[in-house]
Chains A and B, each alone.
Chain A
């Protein structure tokens, strides 16, 4: 029996994850090539040693976690790849879509445009940490009740962002909800139902 047949069939996530890694590798090579040719500002700086990995300890969803990470690893990649928390999504990876929203000490931030190594001692909550066992968080329940999604890709970011919003502003008006959720894009345009869900969660709490 050769090696391939001994392996169990790859799961969908493992397969996707490997394909994406290969793709990212190619993209990274392309990126470096371009930068060298056209951006001497980057290329001319002194060469640096291969990346060292650094330890970082943080609390994620109430659990103390320690990992060693390349300083270039975004908080999002550390959550998804190192800690297996795939709730926060990699949408644009440049701070434009909000799919990667997590809570830092209770306030919402974008995990894609920050480095994991900067979060020593921090408390991070992802969408996985919102429910109380099998009991959904009121905002999660409101999204289900109001059908606040279609494809669902942006939903974990929308829900986490809405939890952050209600912590900042427990009684937002409809106009305020629209403005304060504007950092979360939904390509299915489920916006009316998302606003209704946030409104209803706010009412339930007040």
Chain B
């Protein structure tokens, strides 16, 4: 592992100062992703700034409705009010990684975790995301776990987070602080599709850090659900997952959110599926239509055509289990 300097940041300002002055600096929170990337030579910061001492670990309910999760809340966040108000969020968190990892991994780090694409994580292969312009080994190689939406000729990797898929369904906002001030970035804009710059994965600037995420009060959040399909029952990344949230009044769907995981470089919102739901009764026929709509426009790679059918079924299951 490349040697690095280590600083335990005392406050956000100190962390930002180091980030803006030292181009080789990176933040470390839980470290559950970064340490393996460093050990494998995928990431080589020359200066690690430990943000575990910054606080930022509160779950704060907002007076006007909604809740703010500090960036250093752990992925094991187990708050009964959160479970009731935003079931999809708790379910997504609980389905991620293992208890040991959830106890350590942070909310901010979850958003910033790197793709699990095999070729990204093995330096002997070409990868535009790791090394811009070097090529994409996944295009010729094993594409079974890769994207079916929003990919480019430069990169077909998917974002591995479950939590972010729930955030997408809840219209969450990422709160950042930087040397040039604070920003509120809707989660849909926070993540970037690969396009011609797959090495740039989020809107976060070099001199910014995530201080939290905010979940607005919404009419659909309380009736929400997360379904994750994976290669084994537990402790595996999603092949396809769905976060759904539905507001039903007088038997009719008034508003809905459908977000997919494991299919794109970002949590993928399916507005087509939402449109299939809104204005209809939440019955078998509507649910099937929403599943079909969610899969429409998919562009599978050589080895992942199965994901298209899986999207249909996972969305159907998630909506059916909403009750």
Query: Which stretch (B35-43, B208-216, B275-283) binds chain A?
Result: B35-43
| A151 interface residue per 8 A CB criterion | no
Q: Which residues A36-73 have CB closer than 8 A to chain B? A: 38-43, 45-46, 48-52, 54, 70-72
Q: Which one of B5, B28, B30, B40 contacts A48 once the chains associate, using CB atoms below 8 Å? A: B5
Bound Cα distance from A21 to B103, whole angstroms:
31
Residues in B neighbouring A74, C-beta threshold 8 A: 35
Q: Mark each residue of chain B from 130 to 154: 1 if its CB lies under 8 Å from any CB of chain A, else 0.
A: 1100000000000000000000000
Residues in B neighbouring A86, C-beta threshold 8 A: none
Residues in B neighbouring A50, C-beta threshold 8 A: 3
Q: Which residues A120-173 have CB closer than 8 A to chain B? A: 120, 161, 164-165, 168
Bound Cα distance from A201 to B18, whole angstroms:
48
Contact (Cβ within 8 A) B3 A161: no
Bound Cα distance from A6 to B28, whole angstroms:
47
Query: Which stretch (B58-66, B93-101, B171-179, B313-321) binds chain A?
Result: B93-101
Bound Cα distance from A43 to B99, whole angstroms:
35
Contact (Cβ within 8 A) B123 A38: yes
Q: Which one of B32, B41, B52, B76 contacts A42 once the chains associate, using CB atoms below 8 Å? A: B41
- Given contacts A48-B2, A54-B6, A117-B6, are A94 and B36 in contact (CB under 8 A)? yes
Query: Which stretch (A10-18, A107-115, A192-200) binds chain B?
Result: A107-115
Q: Which one of A31, A52, A110, A118 contacts B32 once the chains associate, using CB atoms below 8 Å? A: A110
Select from chain B the residue with minimum beta-carbon distance to A101: B100
Q: How far is the CB of A173 from chain B (nearest CB, A)?
A: 15
Contact (Cβ within 8 A) A179 B44: no
| B306 interface residue per 8 A CB criterion | no
Q: Which residues B250-296 have CB closer than 8 A to chain A? A: none
| A95 interface residue per 8 A CB criterion | yes
Q: Which one of B43, B104, B123, B235 contacts A109 once the chains associate, using CB atoms below 8 Å? A: B104
Contact (Cβ within 8 A) A108 B100: yes
The interface size of chain B toward A, counting residues with CB under 8 Å, comes to 42
Residues in A neighbouring B6, C-beta threshold 8 A: 54, 71, 115, 117
Bound Cα distance from A164 to B100, whole angstroms:
9
- Given contacts A40-B131, A95-B32, A110-B104, are A48 and B42 in contact (CB under 8 A)? no
| A174 interface residue per 8 A CB criterion | no
- Given contacts A35-B44, A38-B124, A183-B98, are A118 and B28 in contact (CB under 8 A)? yes
Q: Mark each residue of chain A from 75 to 110: 1 if its CB lies under 8 Å from any CB of chain B, else 0.
A: 000000000000000000111001001001001111
Select from chain B the residue with minimum beta-carbon distance to A119: B52
Q: Which one of B2, B48, B235 contacts A182 once the chains associate, using CB atoms below 8 Å? A: B235
| A206 interface residue per 8 A CB criterion | no
Contact (Cβ within 8 A) B101 A161: no
Contact (Cβ within 8 A) B35 A183: no
Q: Which residues B45-83 have CB closer than 8 A to chain A? A: 45-46, 48, 50, 52, 76
- Given contacts A42-B44, A52-B5, A54-B6, are A183 and B50 in contact (CB under 8 A)? no
Residues in B neighbouring A43, C-beta threshold 8 A: 44
Q: How far is the CB of A119 from chain B (nearest CB, A)?
A: 9
Contact (Cβ within 8 A) A45 B24: yes
Residues in B neighbouring A190, C-beta threshold 8 A: none
Contact (Cβ within 8 A) A39 B42: yes
Residues in B neighbouring A120, C-beta threshold 8 A: 8
Contact (Cβ within 8 A) A42 B42: yes
Residues in B neighbouring A71, C-beta threshold 8 A: 3-6, 48
- Given contacts A48-B5, A71-B6, A161-B100, are A42 and B235 in contact (CB under 8 A)? no
Q: Which of B30, B32, B99 has the most CB of A within 10 A?
A: B99
| B234 interface residue per 8 A CB criterion | yes
Q: Mark each residue of chain B from 104 to 143: 1 if its CB lies under 8 Å from any CB of chain A, else 0.
A: 1000000000000000000111000011000000000000
Residues in B neighbouring A104, C-beta threshold 8 A: 103-104
| B23 interface residue per 8 A CB criterion | yes
Contact (Cβ within 8 A) B99 A39: no
5 interchain pairs (CB within 8 A)?
A: A48-B5, A104-B103, A108-B103, A114-B32, A118-B50
What 16 new A-B contacts, CB under 8 Å, besides A38-B124, A45-B44, A98-B98?
A38-B125, A42-B43, A42-B44, A45-B24, A46-B46, A48-B3, A49-B3, A54-B6, A95-B101, A107-B103, A109-B103, A113-B35, A113-B36, A114-B31, A118-B28, A165-B99
Contact surface of B with A, Cβ cutoff 8 Å: 1-6, 8, 23-24, 28, 30-32, 35-36, 39-46, 48, 50, 52, 76, 97-101, 103-104, 123-125, 130-131, 233-235
Contact surface of A with B, Cβ cutoff 8 Å: 28, 31-32, 34-35, 38-43, 45-46, 48-52, 54, 70-72, 74, 93-95, 98, 101, 104, 107-110, 113-115, 117-118, 120, 161, 164-165, 168, 178-180, 182-184
